[in-house]
């Protein structure tokens, strides 16, 4: 009788263990995942078919030139740099990143401007016809680096962190004279089409640090007389 009772108890333990999938109580209570509200929706499995409009193509081909400014400072002052005498035959439009679209009244004027490198070579990295250029390849993003210890602040480490997301165009300089040292703010040129919201692990002398990389809204106002863009993020 005692052996039968013992066997019944052992069977009960086995059943309870199988119900718990051999997990401990702590394992059962531990969350299996966390929800991030900033995670983008799943990618579309099938590409979207687009069509080109001939009217737009002709407009881009004949009177439109696309160029990339040398820096944010050049971008801010580009109308004055390219139109020192206030010429009305040219209109400059911002299209994202450091790129601009230059619209001319006539195709002849566009061709003459492109061939006269003395007018733009010091301010623009390159010029191409509008129909032969990817106009929205990059964008300007302003990011915060959260959780980096102050003794590890420096351009080398900043570049190591931000290079994952893009190229630095507005560095975080003059650290001793800044008032807000709670986080680092840097402007980058990125090909990411969605908002940057990430957490990464960094190491120093065997110790790990979790860093938050968060994009924030910093209005970019090209062609204005406001403060220098690389100082607006102080």
Any domain includes 13: no
Six token digits for residue 93: 């439009």
pLDDT of residue 157: 96
Q: Which of 108, 132, 156 is the last residue of a domain?
A: 132
Same domain (yes/no): 151, 198: yes
What's the CATH code of the domain at 62?
Answer: 3.30.70.330
Final residue in a domain of this structure, among 132, 151, 174:
132
Domain of residue 183, residue span? 139-232
Over residues 20-58, the pLDDT tens digits come to 445 443 443 333 333 344 445 556 578 888 887 777 777
Is 125 found in the same domain as 62? Answer: yes
The answer on 125 and 60 residing in a single domain is yes
**Model confidence over 104-152: pLDDT tens digits?**
988 899 999 999 999 999 999 999 988 888 778 899 999 999 999 999 9
Chain-centroid distance, C-alpha 194: 8
Question: What pLDDT shows up at residue 216?
Answer: 92
Question: What's the pTM?
Answer: 0.69
CA-wise closest residue to 165 among 194, 132, 125: 194
Buried b (16+ CB within 10 A) or exposed e, 174-202: eeeeeeeeebbbbbbbbeeeeebeeeeeb
Six-digit token string for 162: 């931000």
HEC secondary structure over 80-126: HHHCCCCCCCEEEEEEECCEEEEEECCHHHHHHHHHCHHHCCCCEEE
Per-residue pLDDT at 228? 44
What's the total number of domains in the chain?
A: 2
CA dist 14 and 9 (Å) reads 9
Q: Which helix (H) or strand (E) holds 61?
A: helix 54-63
Query: Tokens in use for 26?
Result: 């702590």
154 and 92 together in one domain: no
The whole-angstrom separation of Cα 160 and Cα 209 is 14
| Dihedral sign for Cα atoms in the order 121, 126, 132, 137 | negative
Of 132, 152, 181, which residue is a domain's last? 132
DSSP state of 194: S
């Amino acid at each position: 009788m005692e052996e039968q009772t013992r066997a019944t108890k052992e069977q009960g333990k086995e059943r309870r263990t199988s119900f718990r999938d051999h997990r401990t109580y702590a394992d059962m209570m531990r969350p299996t995942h966390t929800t991030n509200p900033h995670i983008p929706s799943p990618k579309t499995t099938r590409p979207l078919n687009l069509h080109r409009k001939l009217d737009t193509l002709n407009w881009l081909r004949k009177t439109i030139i696309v160029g990339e400014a040398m820096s944010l400072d050049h971008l801010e002052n580009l109308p004055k740099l390219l139109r020192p005498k206030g010429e009305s035959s040219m209109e400059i439009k911002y299209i994202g990143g450091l790129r601009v679209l230059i619209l001319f009244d006539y195709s002849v004027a566009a061709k003459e401007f492109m061939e006269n490198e003395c007018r733009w070579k010091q301010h623009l990295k390159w010029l191409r016809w509008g129909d032969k250029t990817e106009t929205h390849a990059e964008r300007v993003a302003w990011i915060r680096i959260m959780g980096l210890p102050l003794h590890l602040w420096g351009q080398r480490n900043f570049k190591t962190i931000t290079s994952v997301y893009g190229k630095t165009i507005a560095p975080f300089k003059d650290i001793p004279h800044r008032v807000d040292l709670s986080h680092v703010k840097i402007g980058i040129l990125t090909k990411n089409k969605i908002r940057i919201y990430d957490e990464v692990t960094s190491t120093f002398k065997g110790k790990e640090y979790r860093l938050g990389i968060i994009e924030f809204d910093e209005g970019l106002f090209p062609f204005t007389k406001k403060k220098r863009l690389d100082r607006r993020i102080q």
